[in-house]
């Protein structure tokens, strides 16, 4: 049984969260290169006697008093960062505190959520409780890698609902768009351009491009709006005097929760004559019902549910989840990224009110 007499104070949680984040910022942790950052976070967990388990560069904690008869809430955020933008004016790996702002790569996405949810887990398991709590610090989130959350998921106990600590200004994102990338190929026949021989694959693809631009999916989400498609890459031809026999293009599809990725692909494939191939169906749209007790608790606290256009590890979760964390999504992946100390402190207070 957990020793209920070692519960840290809220002030200690806030100080430890900030100290941990500053150390993590100083360690480069671009996706698929998170080992040193995971080592650092693991050392902090062990210092706080949290007994982490590790799978690759994923760290996870299971409630020491886990009871399969109780509801289980997963707290999740990711360790990895994107590569720094060239326009950084500061050293991205030097945690700089200027007033209320803590600058550094990964401070906002997703360091704030990572350290605050860890402190919240630490506090909750030190207190009498009616639920189980599980914490996962996942790797490779920014690239949806196979050695990230999907690798640790089979090792976790049953989860009833999850909170993902992406930066949302601590407002609950109750739905999140999915992602599907499709590679399309229109086929033609090569020939000499001077004699207008062959079948021009660029001409063959035009009808499909117009359909992809103009088609509107019937089911529209209240939170996310319609499923959207964008042709983002197109390549054809080898030289000016050869009629191209193939035109390759890429379609970026952002699904809402009204469709599975497989359903959307079937609609696209049925309406296009190009050869279409989805790279993956695994990054699905995710949501939590508005009547879920966790959402109702958010409403009681005066929070405002919304739909998020950005992708997270929610896409890999086969259970209800909402996205809610400190920081602002607009700062993510931007030069001179920062998070406010007040946002970290406020997040710990609000998470504990939410889960109390």
HSE of 223, CA atoms in CB hemisphere, 13 A: 23
pTM greater than 0.85? yes
Asked if residue 4 has pLDDT above 70, the reply is no
pLDDT for 120 equals: 98
pLDDT digits (tens, 9 = 90+) for 179-211: 999 999 999 999 999 988 999 999 999 999 999
State phi, psi for 73 to the nearest 5 degrees.
Answer: -110, 125
Joined together, the tokens standing for residue 220 give 């529209």
Around Cβ 74, how many Cβ atoms within 10 Å? Answer: 24
Rg of the Cα atoms in the chain: 23
pLDDT for 7 equals: 85
pLDDT for 320 equals: 94
In this structure, are residues 112 and 21 in contact, taking their beta carbons and an 8 Å threshold?
yes
pLDDT digits (tens, 9 = 90+) for 145-157: 999 999 999 999 9
d(CA 178, CA 260) in angstroms, rounded, equals 9
Tell me which residue has tokens 């004016």. 89
Residue-by-residue DSSP string for 25-64: HTS--BTT--HHHHHHHHHHHHHTT---EEETTEEEEE-T
d(CA 206, CA 41) in angstroms, rounded, equals 51
pLDDT digits (tens, 9 = 90+) for 261-303: 999 999 999 999 999 999 999 998 988 999 999 999 999 999 9
Joined together, the tokens standing for residue 111 give 């360091």
pLDDT digits (tens, 9 = 90+) for 73-95: 999 999 999 999 999 999 999 99
pLDDT digits (tens, 9 = 90+) for 307-353: 999 899 999 999 999 999 999 999 999 999 999 999 999 999 999 99
**Given the DSSP bridges, would you call strands 96-98 and 275-278 parallel, antiparallel or unpaired?**
unpaired
pLDDT for 15 equals: 98
Backbone angle region of 11, left / alpha / beta, with phi > 0 → left and psi within -120 to 50 → alpha:
alpha
Mean pLDDT of the chain: 96
Measured CA to CA in angstroms, residue 312 lies from 2, 162, 211 at distances of 32, 12, 29
Mean pLDDT of 93-115: 97
Joined together, the tokens standing for residue 344 give 């970290």
Q: Which residues pair with 78 in a beta bridge?
A: 138
pLDDT for 259 equals: 94
């Amino acid at each position: 049984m957990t020793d209920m007499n070692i519960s840290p104070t809220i002030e200690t949680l806030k100080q430890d969260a900030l100290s941990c984040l500053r150390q993590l910022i100083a360690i480069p942790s671009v996706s698929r290169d998170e080992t040193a950052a995971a080592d650092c976070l693991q050392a902090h967990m062990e210092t706080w006697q949290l007994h982490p388990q590790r799978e690759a560069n994923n760290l996870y904690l299971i409630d020491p008093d886990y009871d399969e008869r109780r509801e289980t809430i997963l707290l999740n955020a990711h360790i990895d960062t994107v590569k720094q933008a060239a326009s950084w004016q500061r050293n991205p790996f030097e945690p700089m505190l200027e007033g209320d702002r803590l600058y550094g790569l990964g401070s906002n996405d997703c360091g704030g959520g990572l350290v605050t949810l860890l402190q919240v887990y630490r506090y909750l398991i030190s207190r009498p409780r009616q639920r189980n709590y599980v914490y996962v610090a996942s790797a490779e989130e920014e690239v949806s890698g196979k050695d990230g959350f999907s690798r640790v998921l089979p090792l976790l106990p049953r989860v009833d609902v999850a909170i993902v600590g992406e930066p949302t200004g601590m407002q609950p994102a109750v739905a999140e768009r999915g992602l599907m990338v499709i590679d399309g190929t229109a086929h033609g026949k090569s020939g000499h351009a001077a004699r207008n021989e062959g079948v021009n694959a660029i001409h063959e693809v035009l009808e499909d491009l117009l359909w992809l631009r103009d088609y509107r999916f019937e089911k529209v989400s209240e939170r996310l709006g319609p499923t959207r498609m964008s042709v983002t890459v197109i390549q054809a031809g080898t030289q000016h005097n050869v009629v191209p026999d193939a035109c390759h293009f890429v379609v970026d599809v952002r699904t809402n929760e009204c469709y599975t990725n497989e359903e959307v692909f079937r609609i696209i494939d049925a309406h296009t004559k190009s050869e279409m191939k989805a790279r993956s169906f695994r990054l699905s749209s995710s949501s939590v019902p508005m009547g879920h007790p966790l959402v109702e608790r958010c409403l009681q606290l005066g929070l405002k549910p919304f739909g998020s256009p950005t992708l997270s590890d929610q896409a890999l979760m086969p259970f209800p989840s909402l996205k809610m964390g400190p920081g602002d999504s607009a700062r993510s992946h931007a030069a001179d990224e920062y998070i406010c100390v007040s946002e970290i402190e406020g997040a710990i207070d609000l998470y504990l009110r939410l889960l109390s």
